[in-house]
Amino acid sequence: GEVSRMLLGEQAILTLAAVPLGAFTGKWICRAILPLYQRETFRLPLVLTPETYAFAALVVAAAAVASALAVSGRIRRLDLIEVLKSRE
């Protein structure tokens, strides 16, 4: 339980720190790439709404939860005696 809490707590902190950084970086990349695809015949507008950011954050949260469930399941199945016996 303690190992699981430590790993999942670290994952939660990293995920919470990565979402705003990813939103800022993604907006910067979109603004940098979009002018490369502007032509005389058509223009592509940059449309980033709060719904876009919310959807992206939900996808990241869902991936983090799925990963946490997979990791916690594997940690629960570990044989503590064998893990402590193994030499690195």
| Tokens 């990293």 belong to residue | 14
The tally of CA atoms less than 13 A away on the side-chain side of residue 44 is 12
Note the pTM of the prediction, 2 decimals: 0.73
At residue 77, the pLDDT reads: 82
The DSSP output letter for 83 is H
| Tokens 């902190």 belong to residue | 13
At residue 21, the pLDDT reads: 95
Average pLDDT of the segment spanning 33-46 = 85
Confidence of residue 36 (pLDDT cuts 50, 70, 90): confident
Confidence of residue 88 (pLDDT cuts 50, 70, 90): low
What H or E segment, with its residue span, contains residue 26? helix 2-33
66 pLDDT more than 80: yes
Average pLDDT taken over every residue of the chain: 88
